[in-house]
Amino acid sequence: MRISDLALAAATPLSAVKYYQREGLIFEGVRSSPNQVEYDDSHVQRVRLIRALIETGGLSIAATAEVIRAIDTPGAPPAETFRVAQHAMSTPRTAESIPSTRSRECVHLLARRRGWCISDDNPGLDAAARALDGLYAIDFDAPDSYLDAYADAAASAADADLNALTTRSGADEVAELMVVGTALGDPLFAGLRRLAQQHATTSLFPHTNANGTPS
Amino acid sequence: MRISDLALAAATPLSAVKYYQREGLIFEGVRSSPNQVEYDDSHVQRVRLIRALIETGGLSIAATAEVIRAIDTPGAPPAETFRVAQHAMSTPRTAESIPSTRSRECVHLLARRRGWCISDDNPGLDAAARALDGLYAIDFDAPDSYLDAYADAAASAADADLNALTTRSGADEVAELMVVGTALGDPLFAGLRRLAQQHATTSLFPHTNANGTPS
């Protein structure tokens, strides 16, 4: 198929496909004549993946390129692909500030309490610590009960992430779901958390339930 | 205190404080002389809050202004403050694309299955549906077991969010934790999920545990 058909098949604007191509995110098609390049289903799959990473996952072009490279590395062990995906998804914005010693220690203690086997360069350590610093800044001390509830939530999601991988065969498909699932699990959780918050709020404060109607 | 002392007390660069002030996010200080304005602890608290919302929560200036307005509305019921905070936190980027009917129905079905009482304008509906569309795009059909695990995670976090509010007295403090907690719960979960993922991956694929050392 031509590039315009590729865009159609991937339900992505042609301008976006050309942009991904210029940025080197799509592997080359087969040149069938001096003016024409042919694409196939593997390109459709790739364009969808890139779009999901950028638009829903919120990754930069550079981070997307890194994740794509990890997927395309033959024989990379799952833990290594996860590591690359996780690092690519640490956005520069959140990487700017260094978390406080207090919040870092708190996250390390929490991980130890859960028996989590993690490496010191896991970007989740600083990401969680930075969020804690924001809570400390408004004098909320994030008691253990609060942290444990979030750790339960994280463990539940991580188990679902890993279980989902067992539905796929082929290293490419596993790696693809690993990185896309890592990127999209965050907004999925964020969306569901807002639903659960509204439900919990209207349960706790029923007299203020002016907007709440059963789903 | 002067504006430079306000910046010091809030551990925020002076340039950022002046920027927040220009954008009308900080209520005015008391003019003590033609060239000097006095600030107090309430300003320190406010600067910290604004910084947490923008830097860790990732909110735009406009969204921050909206949240600040909600906090400063006297007598606003908790459910209403939550609603404003949730809408302000729906970033323009994620609001751009309209989710598919399939993914929207899937989120509605999930909410019904959980017995969640939610309104149709809850931005979490579209946010979760958009994430699902990204998963569908790579041919992952998000089975009920996967969605239920994420819903469990969301419910666990939402309960912790609501419980945290009971540690605070005064409508301002409650509203503040409500909006800051809503903004920072997402990156806290995202960070902890990356830790839990690494732990689960090294448990599932122990032979690839080259980087994993106990925390």
**Interchain CB contact of B163 with A (< 8 Å):** yes
**Amino acid at site B166:** T
DSSP B37-106: EE--HHHHHHHHHHHIIIIIT---HHHHHHHHHHHHSTT--HHHHHHHHHHHTS-HHHHSSPPPHHHHHH
Per-residue pLDDT of chain A (215 residues; tens, 9 = 90+): 999 999 999 888 999 999 999 999 998 889 999 888 999 988 988 888 888 778 766 778 888 888 888 878 777 776 777 777 777 766 544 445 788 899 999 999 999 999 998 988 888 999 999 899 889 988 899 999 999 999 999 999 999 999 998 888 876 677 778 878 888 899 999 999 999 998 988 777 665 444 444 43
pTM of the model: 0.78
Q: Is A47 helix (H, G, I), strand (E, B) or coil?
A: helix
Closest CA to A84 of A185, A189, A178, A187: A178
CA distance B30 to A47: 57
Q: How many residues does chain B have?
A: 215
CA triplet B173, B160, B10: central angle to 5 degrees? Answer: 40
A to B CB pairs, distance under 8 Å: 402
Q: Which residues of B touch A57 (CB under 8 A)?
A: 134
CA distance B155 to B192: 16
pLDDT per residue as tens digits for the range B39-56: 998 899 889 888 877 876
**Interchain CB contact of B27 with A (< 8 Å):** no
Q: How many CB atoms lie within 10 A of CB B15?
A: 9
Q: Do A198 and B120 touch (CB under 8 A)?
A: no
CATH 1.10.1660.10 range(s) for chain A read 1-56
- Interface probe with A: pick from B41, B122, B147, B188, most Cβ of A within 10 Å: B188
Q: Do B195 and A125 touch (CB under 8 A)?
A: yes
CB crowding A55-93: b at 16 or more within 10 Å, else e: bbbbbebebbbbbbebbeeeebbbbbbbbbbbbbbbbee
Given a contact cutoff of 8 angstroms between Cβ atoms, the answer to whether B7 and B13 are in contact is: yes
**Amino acid at site A51:** R
CA triplet A21, A23, A26: central angle to 5 degrees? Answer: 40
**Interchain CB contact of A56 with B (< 8 Å):** yes
CA distance B193 to B44: 32
> ipTM score here?
0.79
For B1-56, give the CATH class: mainly alpha
DSSP A189-207: HHHHHHHHHHHHHHHHSGG
